[in-house]
C-alpha cells in the first residue's frame, strides 16, 4: 500500500507546519470489490461491546437512552490516508434517458428549473441496479433527488443502499454512531461547538483524496411546533455547473489553471473542542478549482468557504481576494438553488462532487437529527475537454 | 405644500451633481383621507383614451394584444417629491393577538420559524377592517403572509385592497399599466434591461420620502413546464429584525448613529435604457440605517445593495467597506428566510419596511408577470427605545 | 484624418452612457515632424490678446498679478481624439551605455537601488541630441532623472526641451497657462477641488490614445518655513517594471490577457466644479494592463486608482476586486520607490509610461506651483515577448 | 509579583487555543529605579562564556568572525509576563519649549512638515538630563529625531543612553547579541525567514504589556555601491496622531470604544523557522485601538498589520474589514511620513508608541545591520479627554 507524501506548506508563513498532500505514486491501491458487510474497523471494534443500534428508533435517541456520548467522539487509530484508484461511477453505466427509473416513477417533480427533483412512488429499497445507475446519473444532472415516505429505509438499509455507489466513508474527526461508523450524524445540540459556522455552501469532506460522491441524507428527528407541524431545518442545494458557468469566460480560463487547498484542520480544531483527537492527523489537499464530473462530463466550481483555505501559488492577499469573490458568487446564485423541506422518512440522494449544499439553522432550541452516508468517489480531476452546462442537453426530462 | 430642499452631495466627487433630500419643514402636507377612487393623475389622463384593463385577463397579455408597449414607459409630469405626515399604520389598530384574523382562518401555516405565514381558507376580498388590521400586524411580525386561491382578487380589487393600508404608490420611473399607474408590473422580457441586477435583497423604492409599507404581489402569468407544472420564479423574503439583531452589539450601537443614502439614480438609468425619462427627477434620500417599525416597535436593518450608495459622513472606502459587510451579512442570514413558490391566484401581503425580499430569476426564456401594489407609509425613523426581536414575544401564534 | 470610433460601455449598467474608444483604422494620422514653434491652437488664439507669460517670474504669480483666473479653465473647442501613429522614442536611438550623457556628468547619484537618478553638473538646455537620447533611455530605465540648478530652464525652454521627445500634450480639461497651453500647472489652492484625491499612484492622462511619454516637472514656488527652508511637497516615483514583476507568475499570465478602461470622466467632473466644460468630451480608453516599454522592452503594470475604472470583460465586483488588489500592491511596493525633495530650479525628467508617481500634499496652507510638460508617445501596447526587469541588465551604471 | 491571567480567545474558532492577556491586579510590580548596569539575565549568563562584543566593530561582523550564530537564537527561560506600573515618561519632565536641546543645536532641520527632525551639532553621549528630557518630548511630537555623526555612540553607549528613558527591553523571540540581550539586531540575510513581511507599518512589540517607548536605531553596516555610495535600506516613519485625525469623526468615535488584539504568535512562528523556541510563550494582548501619548496628551492610532489580529467583540469578517480599512489608511497617509536615509553613525531616536515606522527592503543581496534598543514605557491606555493633533500647538519650533 502506498502511503501519501506530505510536505510543508510554503505559504503558511507565521503558522504551524501543515502537511499538504502531494501526488501519490501510480501503483495506488484499488477500491475493494467485495459487498459491504458492516465490518467495523479493527481498532474500533470492541470499544462498545454489545452495542447495537436498533432499526426501530433514532440512533440519536437510542444512544442517549443508553447513556453514551452522542454524537460519539470515540477515538481510534485509522489507517493513513491513501488514494484509491479505479473508481467507476455507477451513473456512467446508465442510459442517458434514465428511463428505467423515470418511467417507473408515479411522478417526477422538478423543484426548480436548475436544481432538485422529487421522485414519487418508488422505494429506494426496491430499486434495481439499473434504476440505481439511472439515479446516480439523475443526481449528477439535477444535484439532488428526493424520495419521501421511505419508511423502510432504516439506518442499516441506508448504509447498504449508499454502498452500492461506492465504499462508505468513515469520518476521521466527527462524532459517529458506535457500531455504524459510516454514518455522520447531522445534529447540533448543546455539545455542538460550531453553531452557524456550517451554514455555508460546501461539498462534504473535500480534504479527502477520494472525494465524496453519491451521498444520502435522512432525518429521523425534525423540529416541530406545539401543534405538530414540521418547521425549520430545511436544506439548500445548488447546481455547481451553472454556478461555474455564470462566471466571466476570461476568469474561468484562469481558474481552470489553478488548484486550491482544502483543509481538514478547521474541523479538527472543532472536534478538539468536543474532546476528540482526530483519528488520523488532519491534512490539507490540493484539488483543481474547476472539477469535471465523470458522469455528465461537465465542469463545476469546487471550493467551499469552510474548507478551502488558499489558492496554490498566489500571494496570500490575492488568494483571499479571489476566494472571497468566489464564495460570494456562490451565495448570490439564488437562481441555481432549491430548498428542501424535510418530512419524516424523506431521503435525499445527491451528487456531492459537483453541487453545493448547506443546512439552515433556524430551529434552535429545538432539535433535528439526521444520518448522512457518503459513497466515496474518484479523486477530483479537471479534464480540459469537459463542457459547460449550457453546452449539453440532458435526456429523459424537460425543465426550462 | 412644502417642497423638498435638495442639496449637492459632498461625497460625490468625480460624479455629476446629485440632489440629496434634506429635512423638510414641519408643516408637511398630510395624507389624504378620502377613499381610493381610481382617479388617474391629471397629466397622465388622456394619454391612453379609451384604454381599460379588463378584469378577466393578465394586464400584460391584454396590453400586448392591444399593441401597446408593456410595461409602459409613458412619461408624464409628476408633482415634486413631498413628505406627507400623519400616517398611521393599520397594524397599530389591531389587537396583539390578531384573533379576528387568525381564528377565522381554516389553517395558519408558518413557512419557516422566523419568516412567512400562509393563511388558508380566507378571501382577502372578504376581510373585515378588523381582520385587515390584524393582517397588517401579522405582516409586520412575520414579514410576509401568503393567501392562495384568491381568484376574485383581480387587478382593481388588488389595488383597492392595498389602498386600505395607505395611499397607493405611483412609480416615477418604472413601466406602468396605462390606466392603473398604481401597479408596478413585475416582469422581465427582451425589453428588460436589468437582468439579474434585481436578484438582490432589498426593500422597494427606499429613496422615497414616505417609504413602502404594506405591499401586495400577485402573479397572473407563471413559468410552466410542457406538462403544465409551475416551476421557477419563486420569491425569497427575510426577517429584517433578526438580520439586524444578528450583528455584533458594539457594531449595532454604531450603526444606530448613522444614516445612509438611498438613490433612485440607478433605476433612472435603467429606465433611460428603455427610453423613459423619469416622471420627476431622481433623488437621493437620507434615511437611518436602523429603522423602527411602528407596529412592532422593533429595530431592523434598512439598506439594499441596489439602492443604498453610501453612509453619510464616512469616507468613500470606509462607507463601501461597511456597506459591503452589511450586504454580505444579509445574504448569509439563511436562517431568517423563507421561499415562496407561486401558484395562480396566490397573493402575498408583506411589510416592505422591516423585511427584505428578492425575486429569483431562474425561468428565462419563459415569462412571469405579476402585479405589485405598494401602500405608502411613514418616513423611516429610528427610535432609540425600540427593541430587538428577541426582547419581544408576539402573541397569537407559536413558532420556535 | 481618421476619427475615433466610440461605443457604449457594456458594463456601465445603471450609469450614464460612456463613450469607449475602440480600435482605430490603420491609416492613422502620423506625428508632425516640424519643430515646435509655440503656435497656439486656433480656437484658443485671441482669447487672451496680448497676454505673454514672462521668463522672469512664476507663470502662476504673474497670472494672478494680471488678475486672471489661474490655473485658467478657459474653454475652447479642441479637435476630436485621434490616434497618431509613427512615434519613435528617442531612447531607442541611444546607445545602451548612455555614455554621452553619463560621462559628461560631474556626478551620477542613484537615489535608491531601483528608482531615481540625480545627474550633477549638466544643464538640460545644453544637452546634445545624443545626450537627450541617452537621457530618454536613462529615464526609461531609472524611472526619473533629476537635474538641480537649471536656472536657465524657464518655462518656454522647458516646453521646447520636452518637445524634443514628442509632441507636447495639451490638456482638454485642466487649467492652463493662457499663452502656453502645453503646460499643466501643478498647483492646489483654495480653488482646487480635488484635495487629496490626487495623492495616489498614477501615470498621467492614461485615457489618451497616445500616452504620456517623457515628461518634465519643475517647481517655481515651493513651500518654505519662516526661516526660509524648503519643506513639504515632495514627489514619489516608483519603478513599474518591478511592481509588475513582484506579482505572482500565475497572476501575471492572466493579467497579460486583459485590458482595462482608463476614464477621463472623473477629471472632467472635477473640472466642472471649477466651472470648466471640457474642451472635448471626456473619453474612456481601453489599454492593456501590462504594457511594454519600447526603449527597454520591459513589461510594466499600467493602471492607476484615479483613472482605471474597470477591467474589460470582468463582472463588476470581480473587476473591482482585482483592481483593488493591484492598487494596494502598488502602494505596498516601498522597495521600488524614491522620494524627491524639490529645490528651486530642480527639474525632473521621467518616463511617464512604465513608472508611477504621486505628489505628497503635506504643505497646506502654504503653496507650491510647478509646470509639467508631457511629450506624447505611442499608444500603449503589449508585446508578449517583452521581458521582466530581472531578466535584463542595464548598461552604463551600477546599482544593486 | 503578580503573574498575568491568561484566557482562551473566544473568537479563535478553528484555531489552536491562544492565551489572551487580561487585566492584571492593582498591586503590579513597579519599574526598577537602579541605574542600568549590563547585568545579563541569570538563565542566559554562562551560555557564552568569555564572549564580549567589542566597541570597535559591528556586533554582527564580530559574531560571525567568532563563528557563532548571528542573530543568535539562543534560548533561555525568561520570567513570565508582568505589567509594571509607575512608569513616568522623561518627556513629561521637560519644558514645552524644549529650549535646552533646541538652542544647543547648531541646526534643527525638519524633514517634512509633519514628521521627522534632524538635529545637527550635538552628541547624544554628551546630552544633559534636561536635554534628554527635551529630546523625549521632541520625539513624541515629531515622531523621530535624527542625529548624524555619532561616532562615539558605540553599542554599549547606545544601550546606556536608551536606558535613561526606561528599562531596556529584552526580546523573547528574536535573535540577540549574546552578551547584550537588550539589543534587537536589525538584519536580514540568508537565515532571515520573513523577507518582505516586515516591510509593513508598525510599532514594535505591541503584544507586550508595557509598550515600547523611546527607541533608538543605529546602523553599523549599510549597503553600498561599488563606488562606495550608500544606497538602499532607508526607513520610513509616520505621524500616528495625524493618521488618526485623518479618519472620519464618526468613525473615530466608534474606534475610541474598541480594543484590538496584538499577537506575538506570528513572530514566534517565524522564530521557530530559525530554530528558536520562544523564551517565554507568545501572548496576545488587548490594547485600545486609540491610544493616548502621556507626553503630548494626543490620540493616535495603535494598530499594525503584522501584529494586530482582530478587534475584540466584532465578528471575524467585520473585524477583518475594519482592520483592512485601517491598515490601508495608514499606507495611504503619505502626507504624514518622512524617509530617513542612513549614513554611518547616524542614530534615530523615536517615540515608538504614537508613530509608525517600516524598513524598506530594496538592498538585497547586499547587507545592512543595525542595533535597536527599546526603552519600555507604560501600558497603552486611552484617555477620552486627550486631544487631536490639530487642537494643540507645539512650542519651540515652527513647521507648517
Model pLDDT for residues C94-119, shown as the tens digit of each residue:
999 999 999 999 999 999 999 999 99
CB atoms within 10 A of CB D102: 18
Residues of C in contact with D366 (CB under 8 A): 400
In the block, cell 520607490 appears at: C337
Three-state DSSP at D341 gives: coil
C400: pLDDT strictly greater than 90: no
Angle at which helices A316-332 and B316-332 cross, to 10°: 50
User: Inter-chain contact D265–A194, Cβ cutoff 8 Å?
Assistant: no
Q: Is A381 on the interface with C (CB under 8 A)?
A: no
The number of C-beta contacts closer than 8 angstroms across A and D is 25
Spatial separation of the C-alpha atoms in residues D81 and D92, rounded to whole Å: 27
Model pLDDT for residues C167-185, shown as the tens digit of each residue:
999 999 888 999 999 999 9
Higher pLDDT: D390 or C276? It is D390
* CB D345, CB D147: distance < 8 Å: no
Spatial separation of the C-alpha atoms in residues A13 and C202, rounded to whole Å: 32
Residues of C in contact with B194 (CB under 8 A): 13
Residues 6+ apart with CB under 8 A from A119: A101, A105, A107, A108, A109, A145, A146, A147
User: Inter-chain contact D315–B247, Cβ cutoff 8 Å?
Assistant: yes
In the block, cell 453541487 appears at: A355
Q: How far is C195 from chain A (nearest CA, A)?
A: 30
Give the closest of B194, B197, B269 to C16, CB-based.
B269
Spatial separation of the C-alpha atoms in residues D17 and D10, rounded to whole Å: 9
- A91 sits in which H/E element: none
Spatial separation of the C-alpha atoms in residues D229 and B380, rounded to whole Å: 67
For a pLDDT cut of 70, what percent of chain C falls above it?
90
Three-state DSSP at C265 gives: helix
CB atoms within 10 A of CB B106: 8
Q: Mean pLDDT, to the nearest integer, of C130-153?
A: 98
Q: How far is C325 from chain A (nearest CA, A)?
A: 7
Q: Is D334 on the interface with C (CB under 8 A)?
A: yes
B13: pLDDT strictly greater than 70: no
Residue C396: predicted pLDDT: 79
A12: pLDDT strictly greater than 60: no
pLDDT band for A34, please (50, 70, 90 cuts). confident
Indicate the length of chain A as a whole number: 400
Q: Is D315 on the interface with B (CB under 8 A)?
A: yes
CATH architecture of structural domain A90-391: 4-Layer Sandwich (3.60)
Q: Is A14 on the interface with D (CB under 8 A)?
A: yes
Which of A23-37, B74-88, C49-63, C193-207 has the weakest average pLDDT?
A23-37
* CB D51, CB D178: distance < 8 Å: yes
Residues of B in contact with A334 (CB under 8 A): 199, 236, 358, 360, 362
Q: How far is B361 from chain A (nearest CA, A)?
A: 6
Give the closest of B14, B197, B270 to C266, CB-based.
B14
Residues 6+ apart with CB under 8 A from D168: D36, D159, D162, D182, D373, D374, D375, D376
Cα–Cα distances (Å) from B145 to A224, B119, B150, B234, C365, in that order, read 20, 7, 13, 15, 61
Q: How far is C400 from chain D (nearest CA, A)?
A: 6
User: Inter-chain contact A16–D197, Cβ cutoff 8 Å?
Assistant: no
First to last CA, chain D: 48
Model pLDDT for residues B217-247, shown as the tens digit of each residue:
999 999 998 889 999 999 999 999 999 999 9
User: Best mutation site among D105, D360, D367, D400 for testing chain C: the one with the most C CBs within 10 Å?
Assistant: D400
* CB B248, CB D314: distance < 8 Å: yes
Spatial separation of the C-alpha atoms in residues D360 and C352, rounded to whole Å: 24
CB atoms within 10 A of CB D289: 24
Q: How would you label C166-202 residue by residue, b for 16+ Cβ within 10 Å and e otherwise?
A: bbbbbbbbbbbbbbbbbbbbbbbeeebebebbbbbbb
Q: Is B158 left (phi over 0), alpha (psi -120 to 50) or beta?
A: alpha
Give the closest of D199, D336, D361 to C362, CB-based.
D336
Q: Is A45 on the interface with C (CB under 8 A)?
A: no
Q: Would the CA dihedral through C350, C353, C356, C358 be positive or negative?
A: positive
User: Inter-chain contact B321–D325, Cβ cutoff 8 Å?
Assistant: yes
Cis peptide before D167 (omega within 30 of 0): no
Residue C387: predicted pLDDT: 97
* CB B259, CB B312: distance < 8 Å: yes
User: Inter-chain contact D317–B328, Cβ cutoff 8 Å?
Assistant: yes
The number of C-beta contacts closer than 8 angstroms across C and D is 94
Indicate the length of chain D as a whole number: 400
B150: pLDDT strictly greater than 90: yes
Q: Is B45 on the interface with D (CB under 8 A)?
A: no
Residues 6+ apart with CB under 8 A from A118: A107, A108, A109, A110, A111, A145, A146, A147, A148
Please give the radius of gyration of chain B, using alpha carbons only, rounded to the nearest integer: 20
Nearest CA in chain C to D197: C332
Strand partners, C230: C224
* CB C260, CB C286: distance < 8 Å: yes
In the block, cell 397588517 appears at: B136
* CB D257, CB B249: distance < 8 Å: no
Of C174, C214, C238, the C-alpha closest to C374 is: C214
Model pLDDT for residues C332-359, shown as the tens digit of each residue:
999 999 999 999 999 999 999 999 999 9
Q: Mean pLDDT, to the nearest integer, of A301-312?
A: 97
- A326 sits in which H/E element: helix A316-332
Q: Is A13 on the interface with D (CB under 8 A)?
A: yes
Spatial separation of the C-alpha atoms in residues D356 and D212, rounded to whole Å: 12
DSSP letter for B66, please: T
- What residue segments make up the domains of chain C, in order of their start? 90-391
Cα-to-chain-centroid distance, residue D192: 20
* Percent of chain C as helix, strand, coil, to the nearest 5: 25, 25, 55
- Structure pTM? 0.93
Q: How far is B316 from chain C (nearest CA, A)?
A: 11
In the block, cell 440632489 appears at: B19
* CB D193, CB D274: distance < 8 Å: yes
Which residue intervals of C212-338 are DSSP H helices? 240-245, 249-255, 265-273, 316-332
pLDDT band for C1, please (50, 70, 90 cuts). very low
Residue B175: predicted pLDDT: 86
* CB D165, CB D214: distance < 8 Å: yes
Residue D400: predicted pLDDT: 54
User: Inter-chain contact B223–A339, Cβ cutoff 8 Å?
Assistant: no
Give the closest of C247, C250, C318 to A251, CB-based.
C318
pLDDT averaged per 10 residues, chain D (length 400): 32 42 60 88 92 95 94 89 92 96 96 97 98 98 98 97 97 91 88 69 96 97 91 97 97 98 90 80 96 98 97 97 98 98 97 97 93 97 97 79
Q: Is C96 on the interface with B (CB under 8 A)?
A: no
User: Inter-chain contact A112–B229, Cβ cutoff 8 Å?
Assistant: no
User: Inter-chain contact D315–B257, Cβ cutoff 8 Å?
Assistant: no
Angle at which helices C316-332 and A316-332 cross, to 10°: 160
Three-state DSSP at A158 gives: helix
Residue C266: predicted pLDDT: 87
Task: Please name the chains neighbouring B, where neighbouring means 3+ C-beta pairs under 8 angstroms.
Answer: A, C, D
Q: Mean pLDDT, to the nearest integer, of A147-162?
A: 97
Spatial separation of the C-alpha atoms in residues C115 and C242, rounded to whole Å: 10
For B250, phi then psi, to 5°, come to -65, -30
User: Inter-chain contact A248–C325, Cβ cutoff 8 Å?
Assistant: no
For a pLDDT cut of 90, what percent of chain A falls above it?
76
Residues of B in contact with D247 (CB under 8 A): 315
Q: Mean pLDDT, to the nearest integer, of A362-369?
A: 92
Residues 6+ apart with CB under 8 A from C190: none
Q: Is A107 on the interface with B (CB under 8 A)?
A: no
Spatial separation of the C-alpha atoms in residues C367 and C187, rounded to whole Å: 8
Nearest CA in chain D to A193: D13
* CB D307, CB D255: distance < 8 Å: no
* CB B298, CB B94: distance < 8 Å: no
Give the closest of A318, A325, A328 to C251, CB-based.
A318
What CA dihedral angle connects C279, C285, C289 and C292, to 10 degrees?
-70
Q: Extract the C-alpha cell encoding A147.
A: 424520495
Residues of C in contact with B270 (CB under 8 A): 13-14
Three-state DSSP at C263 gives: strand
User: Inter-chain contact D13–A265, Cβ cutoff 8 Å?
Assistant: no
Task: Please name the chains neighbouring C, where neighbouring means 3+ C-beta pairs under 8 angstroms.
Answer: A, B, D
Nearest CA in chain A to C248: A314
ipTM: 0.92
Residue C275: predicted pLDDT: 74
Q: Is C313 on the interface with A (CB under 8 A)?
A: yes
DSSP letter for A119, please: E
Give the closest of C13, C16, C270 to B14, CB-based.
C270
Q: Extract the C-alpha cell encoding D223.
A: 549597503
Residue D396: predicted pLDDT: 80
Cα–Cα distances (Å) from B198 to A244, A284, B270, D328, in that order, read 20, 39, 11, 32
User: Inter-chain contact D335–C225, Cβ cutoff 8 Å?
Assistant: no
* CB B296, CB B336: distance < 8 Å: no
Residues 6+ apart with CB under 8 A from C385: none
Residues of D in contact with C236 (CB under 8 A): 334
Most confident of A353-362, C194-203, D274-283: A353-362
In the block, cell 454489545 appears at: A50
A108: pLDDT strictly greater than 80: yes
Amino acid at each position: 500500500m502506498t502511503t501519501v507524501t506530505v510536505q510543508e506548506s510554503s505559504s503558511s508563513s507565521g503558522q504551524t507546519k501543515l502537511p499538504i498532500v502531494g501526488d501519490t505514486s501510480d501503483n495506488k491501491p484499488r477500491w475493494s470489490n467485495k459487498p459491504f458487510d458492516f465490518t467495523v474497523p479493527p481498532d474500533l471494534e470492541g470499544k462498545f461491546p454489545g452495542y447495537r443500534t436498533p432499526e426501530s428508533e433514532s440512533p440519536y435517541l437510542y444512544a442517549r437512552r443508553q447513556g453514551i456520548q452522542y454524537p460519539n467522539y470515540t477515538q481510534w487509530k485509522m489507517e493513513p490516508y491513501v488514494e484509491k484508484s479505479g473508481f467507476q461511477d455507477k451513473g456512467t453505466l446508465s442510459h442517458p434517458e434514465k428511463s428505467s427509473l423515470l418511467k417507473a416513477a408515479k411522478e417526477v417533480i422538478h423543484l426548480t428549473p436548475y436544481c432538485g427533483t422529487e421522485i414519487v412512488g418508488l422505494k429506494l429499497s426496491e430499486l434495481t441496479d439499473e434504476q440505481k445507475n439511472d439515479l446516480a446519473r439523475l443526481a449528477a444532472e439535477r444535484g439532488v433527488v428526493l424520495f419521501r415516505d421511505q419508511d423502510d429505509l432504516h439506518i442499516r438499509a441506508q448504509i447498504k443502499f449508499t454502498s452500492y455507489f461506492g465504499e462508505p466513508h468513515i469520518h476521521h474527526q466527527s462524532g459517529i454512531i458506535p457500531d455504524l461508523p459510516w454514518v455522520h450524524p447531522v445534529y447540533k445540540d448543546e455539545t455542538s461547538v460550531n453553531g452557524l459556522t456550517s451554514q455555508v455552501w460546501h461539498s462534504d469532506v473535500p480534504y479527502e483524496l477520494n472525494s465524496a460522491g453519491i451521498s444520502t441524507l435522512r432525518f429521523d428527528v425534525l423540529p416541530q411546533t406545539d401543534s405538530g407541524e414540521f418547521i425549520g431545518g430545511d436544506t439548500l442545494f445548488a447546481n455547481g455547473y451553472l454556478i461555474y458557468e455564470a462566471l466571466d469566460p476570461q476568469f474561468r480560463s484562469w481558474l481552470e489553471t489553478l488548484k486550491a487547498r482544502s483543509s481538514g484542520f478547521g474541523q479538527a480544531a472543532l472536534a478538539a473542542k468536543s474532546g476528540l483527537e482526530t483519528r488520523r492527523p488532519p491534512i490539507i489537499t490540493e484539488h483543481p478549482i474547476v472539477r469535471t464530473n465523470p458522469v455528465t462530463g461537465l465542469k463545476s466550481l469546487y471550493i467551499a468557504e469552510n474548507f478551502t483555505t488558499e489558492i496554490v501559488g498566489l500571494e496570500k492577499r490575492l488568494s483571499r481576494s479571489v476566494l472571497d469573490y468566489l464564495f460570494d458568487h456562490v451565495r448570490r446564485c439564488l437562481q441555481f438553488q432549491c430548498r428542501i423541506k424535510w418530512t419524516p422518512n424523506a431521503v435525499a440522494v445527491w451528487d456531492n462532487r459537483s453541487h453545493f449544499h448547506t443546512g439552515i439553522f433556524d430551529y434552535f432550541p429545538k432539535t433535528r437529527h439526521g444520518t448522512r452516508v457518503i459513497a466515496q468517489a474518484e479523486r477530483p480531476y479537471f479534464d480540459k475537454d469537459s463542457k459547460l452546462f449550457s453546452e449539453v442537453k440532458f435526456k429523459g426530462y424537460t425543465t426550462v
